[in-house]
Amino acid sequence: MLNSDHQSTAPAIPGTPPAIQRIKASDKRIINGQTDVNQLVPFKYKWAWEKYLATCANHWMPQEVNMARDVALWKAPADLSGEERAMLVRNLGIFVSAASLAPDNIVLAIYRNITAPECRQFLLRQAFEEAVHTSSYQHIIESLGLDEEEIAGSYQALPSVEDKEQFLRPFMAAISDPDFRTATHENAQVLLKTLIVFGCLMQGLLGHVAYAQVIALGRQAKMAGTAEQFQFILRDESMHCNFATDLINQYKTENPLLWTPEFKQELRVLFHKAVALEIAYAEESMPTAMLDLNAAMFGGYLRQTANRRAQLIGLEALFPTEENPLPWLSAIVFFETRVIEHQSDGALSWD
């Protein structure tokens, strides 16, 4: 298949290779493009290609993380509190059960509607990284010998978890319809809204309480291998969010009529809803303080993060500015594209 189905210029006879036509970079579009989606060059969206290379340079695999000390600690009854154990089991249960939502959204819904080859290249890499994250949760579950039934059950333990999923699912349902096309103003807005919900809110806000709780264990020298994997995952998610921000802004530049006052108001409501959902998770999962964290701290952190996410896509800040009680978490989440220490050596040795 040469083109995405809604803008195909390929011949109608299956199996017949289409004639390759030279494309001009200036003709490429994020959506509704008429150029061959398989022709990566000439580049127009170099930023997307560079982000693809940056994510590849950050490649990591769960099996590279040594879990021996985590296993020893998990088996030592006195060294982890019941509360800490329950927190870890619950968060693993949530992530391992909901992990397919992100890659499903990419491969079943977003990918076929994006007509810029550079962006499609990033999305392919992103889908793989989501699979790595799922295998990371499984690697931890298996290493610690956790009961799979118990893990699965913990997914439904808190109402706020279900509420978050209910919030996200309709956006995917709209654009995963095989007949969905971005040719109309209304549908182009639907896809843009979905990119914002998944790119800025799902990857950039929802789930941060759970990530922080597990990483906070590592900050107290407990379950360091597990915490390290969560930190890598959160960094990958920050890259996904960073790419989504550029994608959204380019989408807006090419389709300025979509960014209406009504549309922006709709987005503001969604940002408020996402912050409220994640605060509810903080309150339900942390009725009392633990690991130097408490639910109130997350309110401040989430409101500040939502402000930044909104401003990066051209919305005004939604909440009054307040102190960030979790600067260490922001440092992980907003590491942006700076080079991190965990980079694979791209050089091959032919000795």
Interacting residue ranges for Fe ion, rule: CB under 5 A: 102, 203, 237, 240
d(CA 123, CA 136): 20
- For Fe ion, the closer CB: 161 or 293: 161
Sequence-separated (6 or more) residues with CB below 8 Å from residue 78: none
Closest distance to Fe ion from the beta carbon of 100 (Å): 12
Nearer to Fe ion, 240 or 309 (CB): 240
User: What are phi and psi for residue 290, nearest 5 degrees?
Assistant: -150, 150
Question: In the complex, what is the shortest distance from the CB of residue 119 to Fe ion, in angstroms, rounded to a whole number?
Answer: 15
Q: Is 290 helix (H, G, I), strand (E, B) or coil?
A: strand
Q: Minimum distance between the CB of residue 192 and Fe ion, rounded to whole angstroms?
A: 18
Shortest approach of Fe ion to residue 102 CB, angstroms? 5
User: In the complex, what is the shortest distance from the CB of residue 207 to Fe ion, in angstroms, rounded to a whole number?
Assistant: 10
Contact 221, 121 (CB under 8 A): no
- Looking at the Cβ atoms of 115 and 242, the one nearer to Fe ion is 242
Cα 285 to Cα 91, 146, 221, 223, 229, distances in angstroms:
10, 20, 21, 19, 21
Residue closer to Fe ion, measured from CB, 172 or 291: 172
* Widest Cα–Cα separation across the chain: 69
**Residue closest to 69 by CA, chosen among 218, 276, 280:** 218
Query: Which residue is closest to Fe ion by CB?
Result: 240
Q: How far is the CB of 198 from Fe ion (least distance, A)?
A: 8
Long-range contacts of residues 254-259, Cβ cutoff 8 Å, at least 24 apart: 254/29, 254/30, 254/31, 255/31, 255/188, 255/192, 257/185, 258/185, 258/188, 258/189, 258/192, 259/314
Closer by beta carbon to Fe ion, 204 or else 218: 204
132 or 276: whose CB is closer to Fe ion? 132
The CB-of-144 to Fe ion minimum distance in angstroms stands at 24
Q: Which amino acid would we find at residue 265?
A: Q
Cβ-based neighbours of 350, under 8 Å, separated by 6 or more: none
Rounded CA gap, 325 and 303, in Å? 11
Rounded Cα distance, 194 and 170, in Å: 9
CB-nearer residue toward Fe ion: 73 or 94: 94
